[in-house]
Structure 1
Amino acid sequence: MENVVVENIYLLVVVTLVSVVQNAFFALKVEKECNSPAFERVSCAKRNCMDAYATFLALMWCAGLCLSQAPAAFAGLVYILVRHKYFLGYMGQTSQSTPGYLFGKRVLFFLVLMCALGIVNYLLVRYCGSDCHKELLETLTKAASALLLIP
């Protein structure tokens, strides 16, 4: 029984751990810039990333558990890369962080859609007794997750 649970969440766990390492990188970068003129920008970029972090984790885990682990984990990795791009862009000029910010919103929206589809599927199974939609939804989300790579 325990192997089944781990099998269903290991990708989500890996992405979560990668995001924790990224947060540690952000914190070290802020500490390194402590006595420099760029401290305010780096600190603000880290704060902005941390503000969205809980939302990202909740959406990724809900999407992975309610619908499909692989597309949710893939979207999570894309979000981590985009968040890194945002952080580095914010250290330059604020306008350089805009593409990362907009791309991150798109990934979060995809995760919200996955959560909603998973919940609707659960309700259909629970109250209508039809489970044929889950495979279709998983296939669609796997295909749609590749669209996240389009800038």
Structure 2
Amino acid sequence: NIYLLVVVTLISVLQNFFAQKVERECKNRNTSGSAFQRVSCARNCMDAYPTFLAVMWCAGVCLSQPAAFAGIIYLLVRQKYFIGYLGQSSQTPGYLFGKRIISFLSLMCVVGIFNYLLWRYYGSDYKEYVETITNAASALLLLP
């Protein structure tokens, strides 16, 4: 099931090309303060990209399906974020939603590592229970 993570990673690489295009267009459009603020805020989302990849892969190694789903949702939110800054809006669409998804992926990493340690040292494997809970919790990510 690691192929789902590979697909999400490749889509995110393509999205980075779009993000760079958005940054160039905003810089070329206007040199006023509002355009500068939109570009610098869009860069904040680019700065979170390495963190997203790290936690998505870490969670994906432990629990593949929910991590890939959360990764796709994050990419959709990130696209909305970039398109919002390409327009004349000065709001931050999707920024907090993206942070919530990264927090969910981080929690999945911790739970997956904890489950591995339980299996390694105590012989108790709770992977089925953890996958059931994370599958149900990943549906909650769709709530705005």
TM-score by length of 2: 0.88
Which residue is equivalent to 2:61? 65
CA contact (8 A) 1:63 1:118 kept: yes
Q: What root-mean-square deviation, in Å, do the aligned CA atoms of Structure 1 and Structure 2 show?
A: 1.7
CA contact (8 A) 1:29 1:42 kept: no
- For residue 23 of structure 2, the aligned residue among 24, 30, 35 is 30
The code of the aligned residue for 2:118 comes to L
The code of the aligned residue for 1:17 comes to L
Kindly state the Cα deviation for residue 12 of structure 1 after the two structures are TM-superposed.
0.3
The code of the aligned residue for 1:27 comes to Q
Percent identity at matched positions?
A: 61
The code of the aligned residue for 1:61 comes to W
Kindly state the Cα deviation for residue 48 of structure 1 after the two structures are TM-superposed.
1.1
> 1:106-127 CA distances to partner (integer Å, 9 max, x unpaired)?
1011101100110110000011
CA distance in 2, matches of 1:29, 1:106: 24
Matches within 5 A, 1:1-151: 8-37=1-30, 40-66=36-62, 68-91=63-86, 92-94=88-90, 96-97=91-92, 99-131=93-125, 133-151=126-144
Between Structure 1 and Structure 2, how many residues are aligned?
Answer: 140
| Unpaired runs of at least 5, structure 1 | 1-7
CA distance in 2, matches of 1:89, 1:58: 25
The code of the aligned residue for 1:147 comes to L
Kindly state the Cα deviation for residue 87 of structure 1 after the two structures are TM-superposed.
2.0
